A and B are shown apart, each in its own frame.
Chain A
Amino acid sequence: DAKTTQPNSMESNEEEPVHLPCNHSTISGTDYIHWYRQLPSQGPEYVIHGLTSNVNNRMASLAIAEDRKSSTLILHRATLRDAAVYYCILRDTLNAGNNRKLIWGLGTSLAVNP
């Protein structure tokens, strides 16, 4: 099963960049790397995803290692509203049967200090 490994918790100061790492050494060729975050008492929300190349959107950037066995979610300037649990998952949307193996793990709990 394709699993990801993330640190349990991280801390940052407001307005500083945050680098959230994720290891996924068993990633397969059809797996997309997805990042989600979950604010307290809410459902997870999509942040960003990528396959091989680095990606940027209005929320964050995703840096993917050349061998695809790790990735880093980058929040360029952390705000208090970014305090959440961040999940890195592998999503194979090409092969429907692989959805059974969608494993989330516990994610990284990010604290942002004012």
Chain B
Amino acid sequence: NAGVTQTPKFQVLKTGQSMTLQCAQDMNHEYMSWYRQDPGMGLRLIHYSVGAGITDQGEVPNGYNVSRSTTEDFPLRLLSAAPSQTSVYFCASSSLSGRGGTGELFFGEGSRLTVL
């Protein structure tokens, strides 16, 4: 099982550029989410989805867009990158209860983004 796959692992952007962080899971999980992790701030939820076609905002959604057209994929788009978006980004997925799932979150290895 590949689990949760994130690409790219590293990216350097200039202010104002746009990019998409890719996340794919092969566990047929309903729930997918994006976090950012900054020093001294812990993990903060950006956006999440509970199924294809359903997305919702987390704690820090501004500057980011998501879509969920398939169960497997949940890309995170930075529309106009800013230095404040320099961070490590993690994608995570899980099953949801009611379908026999434990809700255990599976994380990708992370994508380190630097915005100059």
Which residue numbers of A lie inside 8 Å of B, CB to CB?
Answer: 32, 34, 36, 41-46, 49, 87, 91, 93-94, 96-97, 99-100, 102-107
Question: Among the listed A34, A49, A96, which residue makes an inter-chain contact with B50, where contact means beta carbons less than 8 Å apart?
Answer: A96
A98 to chain B, nearest CB (A): 11
Residues in A whose Cβ lies below 8 Å from that of B103: 32, 34, 49, 91, 93
Within 8 A of A (CB), among B87-111: 90, 92, 94-98, 101-110
B44 lies within 8 A of chain A by Cβ = yes
Nearest residue, chain B, Cβ from A1: B59
B43 lies within 8 A of chain A by Cβ = yes
* Nearest 9 pairs of A and B residues by beta carbon: A43-B107, A93-B103, A104-B43, A93-B97, A96-B50, A46-B104, A106-B42, A93-B96, A104-B42
Cβ–Cβ contact A100 & B58, under 8 A: yes
Question: Among the listed B42, B107, B110, which residue makes an inter-chain contact with A45, where contact means beta carbons less than 8 Å apart?
Answer: B107
Given contacts A36-B105, A49-B104, contact A99 B48 (CB under 8 A): yes
Cβ–Cβ contact B105 & A42, under 8 A: no
Cβ–Cβ contact A97 & B56, under 8 A: yes
Cβ–Cβ contact B42 & A105, under 8 A: yes
A45 to chain B, nearest CB (A): 7
Within 8 A of A (CB), among B1-60: 31, 33, 35, 40-45, 48, 50, 56-59
